[in-house]
Amino acid sequence: MGLEFLARVRRATFWVAAVAALMTATYATPLQALAVALGSGWSLVNLFLLERLIVALTGEQRGTRAALKPATRTLVGMLLLFAAGAFLLRRLPPAALMVGFFVPYAVLVLKALALLLLPSGLWRRLTRDPRLAALAMALAVAAVWLAFSPLRSRSETGSQPAAATTAAVAEPAAHAAHAAESGPEKFPNVITILHRAFPDAGWAEFLHHWEVIVFALLVALLLGLVARLASRNPKMIPEGLQNLVEALVEGLNDFITGILGQKHAARYVPFLGTLFIYIWAMNLFGLIPFMDSPTSNLNVTVALALTVFLYAQWIGLRGLGIVGYVDHLMGSPRNVTGWALVPLMLPIHVLGELAKPISLSCRLFGNIFGEDMLLVAFVSLGVTTLSFTHLPFGLPLQLPFLLLALLTSTLQALVFTVLSTIYFLLMLPHHDHEPGHEAEESLLEHSPI
């Protein structure tokens, strides 16, 4: 068992701790779930520092001044880590924190036992016969069921007297909470969990109030970090992250240039390409556990749509002038019939311009929010299908819809960007004899709006 074994232990511990924290938040309290997660993180950092210390003391440079410096830094880090552990023990539930402390060591022991069991003759005989393997699996499931049943029955019996004595007091609060709720709840994100764990803390209330803005800024920060890493050391023959980012930028440039034309692409591709990447990242961000899609909130989509709307109007005013802009809204009348239709065409064009931000924002919000609600519904259905077992997990019925959400999130970002590009194109100066005018008329005719 070397360093690779410890790396596998860390990876397995991360997922086990995440599942344990989620189960604790579901069946206990968010504060205890936070204690489990932080306790597991503390132990992971402790194992990492121990690994660094052992490498420094037993490596090829042991006993030299070159090994003394990293060993000293590691010891200082361990002292700071133990101080942080003492702080956590004072602030968080000790029992839940100790459970988190022992999660990495439990994974370490189980992996060591697995390394001893897998090469043994007993394991080979067990896996050779499918009937014996099925029997062993059934016994394992039964053992898990028996392990969780007493905990559930004890929690139910312990909660019944409290529920009976506080029913009269809780009923008005329940009605008030129900009245305060505005629609179905999505998956809890990290800010929601922190707010429930520290309901009286000012910083938690602040984060909860500005939750959507925090996630939107976090996505923007991550995109900026990716762009910085991709362009930090550019190479003539790109590779890795630089290759991926350049392929995305080049594809967006070619796509938007095909709509706007080469003449206007240099001015508007940066805005429209950034718009696609930002919306796409926000759509996908909610698929990460304990995160949320900012575009599932109508405030964000309305802000994006208003930005596009105001930019499009500015393009029209700047390119056509005030007289040309009004002439565009009137339908560009050039004969008696055109001027006679101005009282009809002018209100229609004005209402059409005002409807563009409404359609952009509502379409994006409805699809992303609908994805979240669909995932919540199928996760609940998967848990309900195995409710008779009293286990804290169910069938993963949401997995096909996660793959579908990847597709629809990309399509919604693409639709928003394509329509924004068309709105820009319609506001750009053009002449009837230009070759691009017929393409513009075709885009307008087949546009969804």
What are the C-alpha distances in Å from 283 to residues 245, 255, 276, 412?
A: 18, 21, 10, 8
pLDDT for 74 equals 81
Provide the token pair at 280: 């796409």
- Chain centroid to CA 380: 19
pLDDT for 449 equals 43
pLDDT for 407 equals 92
pLDDT for 180 equals 38
How far apart, in whole angstroms, are the C-alpha atoms of residue 322 and residue 381?
57
- Map out the domains of the chain as residue ranges: 1-117, 237-446
pLDDT for 225 equals 93
Residues of the chain with pLDDT under 50: 151, 154-156, 158-183, 432-441, 444, 448-449
pLDDT for 176 equals 40
Residue with tokens 């579901």: 26
Q: Specify the 3-state DSSP secondary structure of 93.
A: coil
How far apart, in whole angstroms, are the C-alpha atoms of residue 383 and residue 381?
5
pTM: 0.63
How far apart, in whole angstroms, are the C-alpha atoms of residue 116 and residue 172?
58
Long-range Cβ contact pairs of 173-180 (< 8 A, separation 24 or more): none
pLDDT for 421 equals 94
Task: Determine contact, residues 413/393, Cβ cutoff 8 Å.
Answer: no
The upper half-sphere exposure of residue 409, i.e. CA atoms within 13 Å in the direction of its Cβ, equals 24
Provide the token pair at 245: 């980012």
Segment 143-173, tens digit of pLDDT: 766 665 554 554 445 444 444 444 444 444 4
